[in-house]
Amino acid sequence: METKLGRKIGEGGCSEVYEYGTEQPAKIIKLAKSNTSMDAMRIEYRNHRTTWELGLPVPQPFDLRVVDGRPGIVVEQIQGETLMQRFLRGLDQPKVSEDSPIYDDVRMTARILNALHSHSAEALPSQRESIKGALLGVESLTAPEKKEICAILDDLPVKQRLCHGDPNPGA
């Protein structure tokens, strides 16, 4: 049985997000754009599942699927405003002060990311190796520049911690 895509509800540089299916709990699917491979989606799905299994505040991941030839990650749909919607509404106030609700949202975001980044990630590959792999594909850098950057990365202390890597207040 094929499930049809619902309404498009978001988009980033590497994916589009759609409502997905009719069963409960409500689900969405994050479908890769042409610049994102199945391998990248597999890694993201594995990382998402690991984070959810640690009990961190992330939507429950359900499956990795291919829809219309595009890899996608099916996750629980979280209802409510995005942080970006809340930020923009807060900026509509005549004067934004430190006791404004927008600051509460910023503090909440910082606390959530801090909690995420404080968890050990022994089961996940090194972020350093992911960065180095991405760096090697950058065409605007010369081979000596890439080598120098990799050497700097190699000199950094090793910490196996979770790293969000791409927080998006509009998602």
CA–CA distance, 159 with 19 (Å, rounded to integer): 36
Task: Give CA 50 to chain center in angstroms.
Answer: 13
pLDDT of the residue at 8:
93
Tokens at 142, concatenated:
């010369």
H or E element in which residue 31 lies: strand 27-32
In which band, very low, low, confident or very high, does the pLDDT at 1 lie, cut at 50, 70 and 90? very low
Identify which of 116, 118, 89 has the alpha carbon closest to the alpha carbon of residue 104: 89
For residue 30, give every residue at least 6 positions away whose Cβ sits within 8 Å of its Cβ, in sequence order, or none: 15, 16, 17, 72, 73, 75
Q: Give tens-digit pLDDT for 93-125.
A: 666 667 777 778 888 888 888 888 887 777 777
Look up residue 87 and give its amino acid.
Answer: F
Q: Say if pTM beats, i.e. exceeds, 0.85.
A: no
* Contact assessment for residue 121 and residue 160, using Cβ atoms and an 8 Å cutoff: yes
Say what the pLDDT of residue 149 is: 94
- Residues 35 and 139: their CA atoms lie apart, in Å, by 15
For 2-42, the pLDDT digits (tens) are 567 899 988 888 899 999 988 888 999 999 999 899 998 99
* Rounded distance between C-alpha atoms, residue 149 and residue 132, angstroms: 8
Bridge partners of 18? Answer: 8, 29
The predicted model gives 134-156 an average pLDDT of 92
Q: Given a cut of 70, is residue 90 above it in pLDDT? A: no
Task: Say which residue, 27 or 89, is predicted with more confidence.
Answer: 27
In angstroms, the CA 141 to CA 160 distance is 28
Q: What crossing angle do the helices spanning 143-155 and 127-136 adopt, rounded to 10°?
A: 170
- Cβ contact 71:41 at 8 Å: yes
Q: Please tell me the distance from the alpha carbon of residue 11 to that of residue 165, in angstroms, as a whole number.
A: 17
**Confidence class of residue 126 from pLDDT cuts 50, 70 and 90?**
confident
Give the residue from 166, 161, 154 showing the smallest Cα distance to 125. Answer: 161
Condensed to tens digits (0 to 9), the pLDDT of residues 30-88 reads 999 998 999 989 988 988 898 898 888 889 999 999 999 999 999 999 888 877 777 77
